[in-house]
Every structure is written in structure tokens, then in C-alpha cells.
Amino acid sequence: MLAADGLVKRFHSRTGPITAVDHISIAVAAGEVLAFLGPNGAGKTTTIKMVAGLIRPDQGRVVVDGVDVTGRPALAASRLGAVLEGSRNLYWRLTCLENLIYWGTLRRLTPAVARQRAGELLRMVDLEDRQHNSVQTLSRGMQQKLALCQALMHRPQLVLLDEPTLGLDFASAEAIKATVRQLGTEGVAILLTTHQMDVAQQLADRLAIIRAGQLVLTGRTEEVLTRYSRPVWRVTAGEAFSAGQLAAARTLGWPLEQPTPKDLLVTPPEDDPAAIYRLLDVLRPAAIRLVERHQADLAEVFQQVVSGGGEAL
């Protein structure tokens, strides 16, 4: 649905030219959520604006649903829906419903279809009871949800979301996440940026992490998490391990730490499927509460990747 190839964007700042986006290529298939992650200033918004046709790349091209839209903003706009950082194309004096209907008719829906679609979307994000309130009376989070509805009015097949859950309360963030999942099942391609790694981990089929304008890691979310998980086991007991139990565990000769009196972190040999049984055996009769293998979360992966060695999958 989206293929962006070799995008480059340079800006001229007071300290000289900077390359905000340095040969970035990303693709998003129909029904797929790609989380596009990176620290502040990495080039995410600049990339999204190029994809949306709002700024022109210095190099590279963007193809949406088979159509080359680079430098053709009107065509790009009709093919995609976008909620961009900070900017909302909402009319303050119009009501929620009026905004959506107006926008829908701009996108060539008939007023009746626009009205129906608007009602459906307002229900989806739980703004139905505000439909007749003007935008200026909405809270920031409500405006954010309305901006998402607006982006979805014409049923775009590609949706660009730049930090869609920023500053939203729990219920609103859940509503937006549910909407993103729903769009995925409808075959919509979604490009999402966020600094909330839990949101990215919950929603993304694939990840692309950028740093200083360059891709440093791409891959399927599960593969990346597995790859960054370490072969460390945590064994937690109901009470502190005794000196005898600790000594017995050490006789196995495996790397071992005791971060708290009740917790052991052990790294058994990976090629020994019975290792964990042997460990539990020597810890007998400790009241074991939990045995779990370390599973990396996206926050850990992100931190490792942006602070140093990322490698493309």
C-alpha cells in the first residue's frame, strides 16, 4: 500500500545544512501496522510529511497504492488519511459533526454518506455525546480523537498517525488503539509514530527504528523482541533464599545474580533443555512462586538500538 524509497530531506539551519532524513525506505502492506520509532529529532515527522505529500523530498519517491504521489500533494491527500503532530485541520466554530461532514464532502462523499460515516466514527471514539458541541469547547484529547475521525472519513487505505495517543487519558488511548486494530482488520495500512513503546508493542506488526535520519533496525515485532531477549531465567521465591540454597545453586557453575533476597537471575547453558529442572532441584525446598525466562520488551530494545548497536534484521 505504501512504498517509500530512498527518501532524503535536507534543511538549512543556522548552524549549516542538516540531513533530517537520509535515504529512508519503508513499506507498509495492506492490513499492516508499522511502528516508525526514533528519538526526538530523528526524522519521523519529516518522513511522514513527505509520505503525505506535504513537503517535497530532495531525493526518493513515494508510491501509494501503485500511484507515484511524490510532489503531487492533492493526489496524495485523496489516497491517505493523516493525523499529524500538533496540527489539526478542524474549524473551531463548527461542531464535531459539522466538521466531519464538511471534510467528508470535500473528500467527495455525498452529505448523506458523510453524515452516516461521521456518526459511525464518533461512536467508535466515544464522542457521540459531543457531536453537536463546537470544537472550541472540546478538550485537547477530544480534539485529537476528532482529528482521527476526520482523517478516516473518506475510508483511506493508508493512514499516517504521528503520535496519536500523546497526552490522552487511559480510556481515550484505548479507544484509539482499538480503532487502529479495527482498521488493520479492515485491510488499512497504518504508519504510526509514538514515543510510547507499550503502544507500539501492542499495535505494530513490524517496526522501523530510525536514528539521525537513518534506519537502524527493521523487522517483525515478535522477531525483534525474541532476538533481543536474553537467555536469563528469573526464579522468585515466597521468602528469601537461604545461604545453603544459594551455595547449592552456585555449584551448578552458571552465571548467577541475586538482585533481591527472593530473586535469582540465572543464565543456564542454552543447549541444556533440562537445566532449569536441575536448578529447581538444588533449590529445594524453597517455596518457588515464579519461574520465567527474560522476555525483552520494546522499551529495552529501543534503548539498546538508539544508544548504540542496532542491526537490521
What does the block give as the cell for 11?
A: 534543511
Distance CA 24, CA 189 (A): 18
The binder of 183, among Mg ion, ligand ATP, none, by C-beta within 5 to 8 A per type, is: none
Q: Which of 29, 68, 32, 35 is nearest to 50 (CA)?
A: 68
CA distances from 296 to 164, 222, 299 (A): 24, 10, 8
Contact set for ligand ATP, span 8-37 (CB under 6 A): 11, 13, 18, 20
197 binds, among ligand ATP, Mg ion, none (CB under 5 to 8 A by kind): none
11 vs 92, beta carbon nearer ligand ATP: 11
Instruction: State yes or no: residue 47 binds Mg ion (CB under 5 A).
Output: no
Cα–Cα nearest to 33, from 141, 171, 194: 194
Euclidean distance between CA atoms 257 and 232, whole angstroms: 10
Which DSSP letter does residue 262 get?
T
CB of 16 to ligand ATP, least distance (A): 11
Contacts (CB under 6 A) with ligand ATP, residues 73-132: 85
When asked if residue 211 is in the footprint of ligand ATP (CB under 6 A), the reply is no
Q: Is the peptide bond before 259 cis (omega within 30 degrees of 0)?
A: no
Q: How far is the CB of 46 from ligand ATP (least distance, A)?
A: 3
Q: Rule CB under 6 A: is residue 46 a binding residue for ligand ATP? A: yes
Residue type at 169? D
Closer to ligand ATP by Cβ: residue 100 or 216:
216
Dist. CA 127–CA 149, nearest whole Å: 10
Q: 9 or 154, CB closer to ligand ATP?
A: 9
CB 84 within 8 A of CB 61: no
Query: Which positions from 216 to 245 touch ligand ATP by CB under 6 A, shown as an x/- string?
Result: ------------------------------
Give me the least distance between CB of 302 and ligand ATP, in Å please.
12
Instruction: Give the one residue of 26, 38, 45, 180 binding Mg ion; rule: CB under 5 A.
Output: 45
Residues that bind Mg ion (CB under 5 A): 44-45, 85
